[in-house]
Amino acid sequence: MWVTSSRPRTELLAGVGVPADTNRGVAMTEHAVVIVGAGPTGLMLAGELALAGVDVAIVERRANQDLIGSRAGGLHARTIEILDQRGIADRFLSQGRVAQVARFASIPLDIGDFPTRHNYGLGLWQKHIERILAGWVGELAVPIYRRRQVMGFSQDHTGVDVELADGQSLRASYLVGCDGGRSLVRKAAGIEFAGWDPTTSNLIAEVELAEEPEWGIRHDVHGIHSLSRSEDGLVRVLVTEQHVDRPGEPTLGDLSEALVAVYGTDYGIHSPIWISRFTDMARQAASYRTGRVLLAGDAAHVHHPAGGQGLNTGVQDAVNLGWKLAQVVKGTSPASLLDSYHAERHPVAARVLRNTMAHIAILRRSDERAKALVETIAELLSMDEPRKRFAGMMSGLDIRYDFGEGHPLLGRRTPDLDVVTANGPRRVFTLLHDARPLYLNFGEPGDFDISLWADRVQQVEARYAGPWELPVVGAVTAPTAVVIRPDGYVAWVGGRTQLGLADALTTWFGPPATREYRGQCRGSRGGTGGDGGRVADFIER
């Protein structure tokens, strides 16, 4: 079963994130959850698990968090909201540039009128996003085994043995592959990566040029190309290649060849800091889970960067999975809860794949017909309803998980309302900071009885007189109570009765505690369930 603390951590780690080099032959180290990959997805997932009190560790082959070169350029509104739900959005907002970043086929989609505190996106390079996330994970004391490469794993009915390149191994109750598009975990698990082969290939690089280039964006029959200054004063090159089937890692020769084909010269290119290749390959894991092994982020889905959705989707995968996995390893929910992770997140990424393929079908051509198509779409998107729909999709604010028919809030993100509680004014997102389920009652105090879940679910009596508005959907009827999952999605909406409340609490947070168990909780003041005793006491008042 799962373990509450790792062993022998001191032998394997010389301080968090710095592995000792003299650790061959030590006993197998155990954690409840091992995550492969300290990219944005793995870091976010580790933070979520640590907040839930789960013993989690990350294995990462990179020596440190430095990321050479630029990948993702920022965050969409829903991701900013998710970070706000954990009280860390300001760390990102203070270092980036707030702007209207949502686009479809390069057509800007303004979300300034959406009912959210974050009716914008954030321009912030991935290296900064990772650095800030890693700082948060460090505060939560998650060990990161750096300079360690996972080579394989084997799972049995109680856990997973994870093999590292240095001959050591780790034991975990669950293994999560957040190891990027070429995921070893996905391959070793034998999970099909179904989808579409690339039709176009781009090189992206930071270099120095001997000659002054043609700055800016150029469209031609091959696609889009651009030359711009990076924040470090280097030249950022984006160039569409003539071929899509180049094997291996990209070289300076490949870059030179691609530039000559487009511009007739390579401008005396030299001293590359990094060169990377991306394509419009669109693939998705057929299953996000096999037994005790799960996938998240690029390991589960890859697509063209158009629309800037990859990192955002991965971070949101992590927040969907984190609390579920925590409940399963703690034994409060059955393992079948993990199936809802695939059920909810697979369609979200499938939609991302679909819209990136549409993007590319439109953008890769630059003839008069393609221009006419873009103009036609721009005309459509200038109308309010289509603009809201597409902006809701690209910003992630319209995501609705399928929890069946019901109130429009069901399965959607909770609005971050300013409510008044017994402890004074609070934002709903503030009540989610410690990633615990929330029962928010707007009716008479004690209207509904959730005491059998009091060890897991925080109950807050609240007052709110303002409107309930959702992006894209608009105004909705005010509920008398809501159950909000730790990821901020509404799992139950109360009307005049508590119909379905017990089922929803059981589905999402496990079966009710017995009366005897509740007695123990009160007696021990939160022994098993964190501050369950305090919550129970609060409800009894």
Ligand X SMILES: Cc1cc2nc3c(=O)[nH]c(=O)nc-3n(C[C@H](O)[C@H](O)[C@H](O)COP(=O)(O)OP(=O)(O)OC[C@H]3O[C@@H](n4cnc5c(N)ncnc54)[C@H](O)[C@@H]3O)c2cc1C
Q: Interface with ligand X by CB under 6 A: which residues? A: 36-42, 59-62, 71-74, 126, 149-150, 178-180, 184, 204, 278, 297-298, 305, 308-312, 314
Q: What's the closest the beta carbon of residue 276 comes to ligand X, in angstroms? A: 6
Task: Say how far apart CA 143 and CA 6 lie, in whole Å.
Answer: 10
How is the beta sheet containing 438-441 ordered, strand by strand? Answer: 424-427, 418-421, 458-463, 438-441, 481-484, 490-494
Query: Based on CB atoms, which residue is closest to ligand X, 42 or 494?
Result: 42
Task: Say how far apart CA 389 and CA 402 lie, in whole Å.
Answer: 18
| E strands present in 230-348 | 235-240, 269-279, 282-285, 289-290, 293-295, 301-302
Q: What's the closest the beta carbon of residue 312 comes to ligand X, in angstroms? A: 4
Q: What's the closest the beta carbon of residue 225 comes to ligand X, in angstroms? A: 14
Task: Say how far apart CA 247 and CA 171 lie, in whole Å.
Answer: 36
**3-class DSSP assignment, residue 237:** strand
For residues 142, 145, 150 and 154, what is the CA-based torsion angle, rounded to 10 degrees?
A: -60
Write out the two tokens for 481.
């109570």
- CB-neighbour burial class of residue 131 (10 A; exposed 0-12, middle 13-18, buried 19+): middle
Estimate to the nearest angstrom the gap between the alpha carbon of 70 and the chain centroid. 18
Q: What's the closest the beta carbon of residue 233 comes to ligand X, in angstroms? A: 20
Q: What's the closest the beta carbon of residue 180 comes to ligand X, in angstroms? A: 3
- CB-neighbour burial class of residue 289 (10 A; exposed 0-12, middle 13-18, buried 19+): buried
Query: Based on CB atoms, which residue is closest to ligand X, 60 or 81?
Result: 60
Write out the two tokens for 433.
């900071």
Residue where the block lists tokens 């393609």: 370
Q: Three-state SS across 468-519?
A: EEECCCEEECCCCEEEECCCCEEEEEECCCCCCHHHHHHHHHCCCCCHHHHH
The DSSP secondary-structure symbol of 425 reads: E
- CB-neighbour burial class of residue 253 (10 A; exposed 0-12, middle 13-18, buried 19+): exposed
CB 299 within 8 A of CB 310: no
Residue 291 CB partners (closer than 8 Å, separation 6+): 155
Task: Say how far apart CA 220 and CA 411 lie, in whole Å.
Answer: 43
Query: Based on CB atoms, which residue is closest to ligand X, 235 or 513?
Result: 235
Closest by CA position to 104, among listed 76, 139, 71: 76
Crossing angle of the two packed helices 515-524 and 532-540, in degrees rounded to 10? 110
Closest by CA position to 482, among listed 397, 399, 416, 539: 416
Task: Say how far apart CA 359 and CA 307 lie, in whole Å.
Answer: 8
- State which amino acid sits at residue 130: E
Query: Based on CB atoms, which residue is closest to ligand X, 69 or 408?
Result: 69
